[in-house]
Amino acid sequence: MKISQSNWFEIEEWLKTDDGCVLPLGSTEQHAYLSLSVDSILSEKMGADAAEPLGVPVFPAVPYGLTPYFMAFPGTVSLRLTTYAAVVTDILDSLYATGFRRILIVNGHGGNSPVQTACAEWMQANDGGRVRFHDWWRAPKTWAAVQEVDPVASHASWMENFPWTRLPGRDLPTQQKPFVDFDRLRDRNAQGVRELIGDGNYGGHYQKPDEDTDRIWDIAVKETRALLEGDWA
């Protein structure tokens, strides 16, 4: 159940029998022709779809993350690592204080990965607190399904293009964009990254048939739900 569609009485009732919840992490950054909120949209919907039959509370996605390399693209917002670690830690503290102990972080943005260290430190400092950090798109079964459709898949390509992340009335290129050389991206500032990747797609087709992406989504939802249902002992 989405927190945004719940009241506090219902959450208190949930906590009488269970202490699990979902915290989605997103980002506000360029995704070529797709929404600037792709990562937040996907992480929150993934968490909600996975948790729905279980009744697990799903919090709103944190809409900002770590994306300094895209700061040459207008509309992108990036937090400092220290700021982001503090924000996530404050959220975890709040969840713990109100009774949650098992927290599944559904992450939608690869750049957020460094915050896993803050999560480990938080668990060390909070007895009984458990955090699982889940990059939904690169979980084993999900990534295998992506590779089956097309191994040329990356940021802002077809693998992030769903009905809920594309923008109405925007035409997409029809060709397959060659992969950008990632080694050349690692030592560039934001303007240098923009010069290398152009429109923002790292490589791959811009869109695939919905039946392909729907199948990947279904696999990802089941893989995410399995983490909620799994052994937390």
Structure token pair of residue 64: 């900002």
Number of domains present in the structure of the chain: 1
Below-70 pLDDT ranges, the chain = none
Bridge partners (DSSP) listed for residue 188: none
What are the tens digits of pLDDT across the range 147-184?
Answer: 999 999 999 999 999 999 999 999 999 999 999 988 88
pLDDT at 181: 85
pLDDT at 182: 82
pLDDT at 233: 79
Structural domain that includes position 111: 3-229
**Closest C-alpha among 38, 50, 106, 112 to residue 78:** 112
Structure token pair of residue 160: 């992030």
Domain containing residue 106: CATH number? 3.40.50.10310
